[in-house]
Structure 1
Amino acid sequence: MLEGKVVAVTGAGRGVGREIALLCAAHGAAVVVNDPGVGGGGEGGDAGPAQDTVNDIIAAGGRAHANLASVADPAGATTIIEDAVQRFGRIDAVVNNAGILRDTIWHKMSHEDWRAVIDVHLNGCFNVSKAATPYFREQQSGSFIHFTSTSGLIGNIGQANYSAAKLGIVGLSQSIALDMARAGVRSNCIAPFAWSRMTASIPAETPAQKARLEKFKAMSADKIAPLVVYLASDASAEVTNQIFSVRKNEIVLFSKPRPVRSMTKLEGWTPESIAAELIPAFQPSFARADEVSAHVFGYDPI
């Protein structure tokens, strides 16, 4: 599917990113494996994970190069794309997978925890995508594959920073898809359900939380990679501006926000008439106030 292509995958030293890099290489792509090897909250750094993925790709007969830059740094993000072009001659697809978590309940969230997560997820997507854009425009082709989350699409407890970043990525992807369509460039999002270092940090104190975590453990990271390979390939030339999700062997297409109900009052609305007429009419269509992804996906994937 990717013979002759060059793909850059961020956060590819471990977990979902590693599986994506391995499968892209198995399908013929040369892969820039980006990962600074930081901890789950963005601390430290280790060249080992990125190099391990590269070594495994090369051992299987593929082509790969390790890049240790932080996507949060615009100059570092640019090196990811420059490494692809200088070492392999071009760049065909960007997989924005890198991420960190600094979960905490809203009233305890610090400015630093907010900025750190936004910088890696949302600004990181912008930085790497921006660096690849001139090459995509020149060659009149390219694919952006951004990783969002149901934490952003639906919401989640204790993840205001992560949720905001992940929904922001959807907005970014949609605008890129519209702006770059004339250049033959596409942009799509994937919300993965998979067991990784990041999902391992989900609290599991109550029996219900522990049961939910066990379900996550059955959703292996390698299940996400086939959709990424497809979206990076020429076979997906007509697929852009979409939001997908992968839950084990299930692939989901998400709708975008659309009007659900409307009501017109010819004489105009007052606060009192909103309370008396509008809200009672709208209430049956309200999303539940405590809704999280478990309410939307009320069944186990196979």
Structure 2
Amino acid sequence: MSELRFDDRVAVITGAGRGLGRAYALLLASKGAKVVVNDPGVSMKGDGVDAGPAEEVVQEIKAAGGEAVANTDSVATPEGGQAMIDTALSNYGRVDILIHNAGIVRRATLDEMSIDDFEDVLDVHLRGGFHVVRAAYPHMKKAGYGRIVMTGSINGLYGNAGAANYSVAKAGLQGLSNVAAIEGEEFGIKSNVILPAAVTRMSEGVDTSAFPPMDPNQVAPAVGWLAHESCSVTGEMLISAAGRVARAYSVETPGVYQPTWTVEQISEQMENIRNADETQVFDPVPLGHIDHLKFSFAMASKK
């Protein structure tokens, strides 16, 4: 198989100064992409500002013969999201790839989490995703091409104690990506979600001594494929963890149809309602929500 390259493509990567984002930036640049390395250099909790991390990655890319420019705006505001897309346009004249990787962590249990800690995490992860997608989408639409990669998490699928803010934000990004995939299909725009696992700054406070190798470079190839023009999927989620790459998706049981229900009947039928022998998968693209309705309506019509 010939090498999959990104020559003449322009990529904007948020949170690219360290960890996973840095690995993505270095990989795409090594394969010919021009990269906007976005990172305001904040702490893992979102405090402070430091232009160093973004600039260091840019210099690393340039030293290897690649092209890159630093951007230190925050995804947490609409202005910041627009500014980093404008950086791509002013320096390279286009934006082909958007990888939203920026994130912060503020752990607390439900009964102790402050409103600020909840909102600030959503600002960076979820609203930040919207801010950059909203800014990039019109340019991708006009060009008839785009690749969007949102960073989800298994916490968004399954939840995690002490991470309500993070889990909610990651679950929301799945919905955002699906909408971008549905609306972007006719314009050559594909949008997918990566659910990565790697030992980075975000792992601080977690005992990783028994973990297998989990380097950001193990995740980068999956993100690279989702960002490549040959990517054949949209509206999907890929897991990349400790060398394992897998697809994650939503399923439904066939369920049980009755024209009317009582609480007692729900209780009596719960085993059949939950029976997963013949699960149904409704892919978001082209119209998974319509397929879901058609399936439900068909059960009613058969009765």
TM over 0.5, shorter chain: yes
Of residues 242, 248, 251 in structure 2, which corresponds to 1:254? 248
CA distance in 2, matches of 1:24, 1:62: 9
Q: 1:284 to 1:134 in 2, by over 3 A?
A: closer
CA distance in 1, matches of 2:82, 2:210: 38
Question: Contact 1:244–1:254 (CA<8 Å) still a contact in 2?
Answer: yes
Of residues 262, 269, 272 in structure 1, which corresponds to 2:264? 272
CA distance in 2, matches of 1:242, 1:167: 13
- Look up the SS of the partner of 1:101 in the other structure: coil
Of residues 52, 55, 62 in structure 2, which corresponds to 1:48? 52
Q: Which residue identity is paired with 2:112?
A: K
Tell me the equivalent position of 2:280: none
Q: Which residue identity is paired with 1:273?
A: Q
User: Does residue 243 of structure 1 match 2:247?
Assistant: no
Q: Superposition RMSD on alpha carbons, in Å?
A: 1.4
CA distance in 1, matches of 2:107, 2:179: 28
Q: Give 5+ residue unaligned stretches, structure 2.
A: 277-303
TM-score (norm 1): 0.87
- Look up the SS of the partner of 1:69 in the other structure: coil
CA distance in 1, matches of 2:228, 2:252: 33
Of residues 200, 205, 217 in structure 2, which corresponds to 1:222? 217
Q: Give 5+ residue unaligned stretches, structure 1.
A: 203-209, 286-302
Deviation at 1:44, TM superposition (A): 0.8
CA displacement 1:64-100 (0-9 Å, x = unmatched):
1110000011111111111111111211100000000
CA displacement 1:29-85 (0-9 Å, x = unmatched):
010000000000101111111111111001111111110000011111111111111
Specify which structure has the bigger relative contact order, considering alpha-carbon pairs within 8 angstroms and separated by 6 or more residues: 1
Of residues 145, 150, 169 in structure 2, which corresponds to 1:146? 150
TM-score (norm 2): 0.86
Tell me the equivalent position of 2:291: none
User: Does residue 263 of structure 1 match 2:256?
Assistant: yes
CA distance in 2, matches of 1:151, 1:159: 8
Tell me the equivalent position of 1:38: 42
Of residues 6, 9, 13 in structure 2, which corresponds to 1:9? 13
- Structure 1 segments (4+ residues) deviating >4 Å: 282-285
CA displacement 1:15-38 (0-9 Å, x = unmatched):
000010000100000100000000
Question: Contact 2:36–2:70 (CA<8 Å) still a contact in 1?
Answer: yes
CA distance in 2, matches of 1:30, 1:274: 56
Question: Contact 2:253–2:274 (CA<8 Å) still a contact in 1?
Answer: no
Deviation at 1:199, TM superposition (A): 2.1
CA distance in 2, matches of 1:142, 1:281: 43
CA distance in 2, matches of 1:25, 1:283: 47
Q: Which residue identity is paired with 2:252?
A: P
Deviation at 1:263, TM superposition (A): 1.9
Q: How does 1:1-302 map to 2 (within 5 A)?
A: 1-202=5-206, 210=207, 213-216=208-211, 218-236=213-231, 238-256=232-250, 258-266=251-259, 268-275=260-267, 277-282=268-273
CA displacement 1:264-286 (0-9 Å, x = unmatched):
345x22222323x123444676x
Deviation at 1:111, TM superposition (A): 0.5
CA distance in 1, matches of 2:37, 2:212: 25
Q: Which residue identity is paired with 1:244?
A: L
Identity %: 40
CA distance in 2, matches of 1:172, 1:245: 17
